[in-house]
Amino acid sequence: MALIRPIAGLRPAAGQAEEVVAPPYDVLDSEEARERAAGRPWSFLHISKPEIDLPQGTDPYADEVYAKAAENLERMKEEGVLVCDEGARYYAYRITMGEHVQTGLVVGASVAAYDDNRIRRHEYTRPAKEDDRVRQIEALNAETGPALLAYPTAPDVDALIAEAVRGEPDMDVTADDGVRHQVWIVADADLNRRITKAFDAFPALYVADGHHRSAAASRLAAKRREQAANPTGEESYEYFLAVVFPHHEMQILDYNRVAQDLNGLSPQAFLDRVGETFPVEPAEEQVRPQQSGEFGMYLKGDWYRLTLPANLVPSDPVARLDVSLLADYLIEPILGISDPRTDDRIDFVGGIRGLGELEHRVDSGEMAVAFALHPTSMEDLMAVAEAGEVMPPKSTWFEPKLADGLVSHVLD
């Protein structure tokens, strides 16, 4: 079974991409989605966040929500807003955010490879979120939110993708957040074959984001396999919707931390405790860490630079992550927060919001202290996945985000 294969994508008809394109379902809450979709009847949010078309306060996990998603998808197909390509192919996909550019492929990724850990993951999933994605796929009979995958260094694959993006894109849209999305339909059958063969040479791909989407696809495939009379392993449900990029083009931003209180300590006593492990250097401006083991801390209107001594950094691929170092040497022993998954005294701020957001959360009195971290690297993520280990929660914040609605995967 191939590691990836082409798909017959469901996509916006010519001239409709700008009306359809939407943010991923999980970056907006229901009210934000309702506002973003106002006056846009063809926004993909009507499929990915269908509760916006039901009375306010509707439980987003109610049966009628999934039914509304299916109704909206069928309406967009009947009206010719979305069309399904005849025959399978890859789709080259380029995202541009400011000066950052990354170019990859929309593919069907092998469920068997995922189940065998050839498509490696690095996060735990939550059953409730998996259930939601399974119900969404079943209601639509389609996968509409791609998983984000990475492939390791491979100049030959980079060259094939470069070949796929020659000429004008078939879709070119700048979303309302200023991010540009371009898609090229790879109609050349020989190029599609060469791409498939080149990817089969990889020992592994890596889930960067979309662990729940991937796990849901695996669960759905297992269910349909059991129900099938004579499954061949080549059914459409045996491959899940994914976008795969070269790891060196992907961008992880910092994922920062804020804590509600100082665990009963005064600000000076807290600084003294921190100074027992970290050299603490007052700073005149915001501290954006420039290397691993360095942290910015904002407390009572002042910034500090914390630097963990190198001899305290372990070699284990999880324990050496900056999110682990901060947790193990400060957040747990000093602030008393041992489980960031469940403790509501801690919150997480994506780096896209900037360090000013950390200042705001503390200056407003909502939080007592904030920490700026150096971003996790793709090499660190891949090392964790290779070791079969799991990252701490909120370790990575990928930007730019994939768009929903540009290419979906209809199942048999």
Domains of the chain and CATH, by start: 4-251+399-410 (no CATH), 255-374 (3.30.1760)
Distance CA 257, CA 355 (A): 11
Helix axes 63-78, 127-140, angle to 10 degrees: 40
Q: What is the pLDDT of residue 295?
A: 98
In 3-state terms, what secondary structure has residue 244?
strand
Rounded to whole angstroms, the Cα distance separating 204 from 150 reads 9
| Count of helices and strands (H, E) across the chain | 13, 21
Vertex 17 angle, CA 16 and 21, to 5°: 130
Q: 84 is written with which tokens?
A: 């399904």
Give the pLDDT of residue 229.
Answer: 86
Kind of pairing, strands 280-283 and 302-307? antiparallel
Output the tens digit of pLDDT for each of the chain's 412 residues.
Answer: 899 999 999 999 999 999 999 999 988 899 999 999 999 999 999 999 999 999 999 999 999 999 999 999 999 999 999 999 999 999 999 999 999 999 999 999 999 999 999 999 999 888 999 999 999 999 999 999 999 999 999 999 999 999 999 999 999 999 988 999 999 999 999 999 999 999 999 999 999 999 999 999 999 999 999 998 888 889 999 999 999 999 999 999 999 999 999 999 999 999 999 999 999 999 999 999 999 999 999 999 999 999 999 999 999 999 999 999 999 999 999 999 998 888 999 999 999 999 999 999 999 999 999 999 999 999 999 999 999 999 998 899 999 999 999 999 999 8
Global pTM value: 0.93
Q: Which residues pair with 294 in a beta bridge?
A: 307
Instruction: Give the position of tokens 């984001």.
Output: 209
Token pair 């039901």: residue:
54
- With beta carbons less than 8 A apart as the criterion, state whether 192 and 90 touch: yes
161 — alpha (psi -120 to 50), left (phi > 0) or beta? alpha
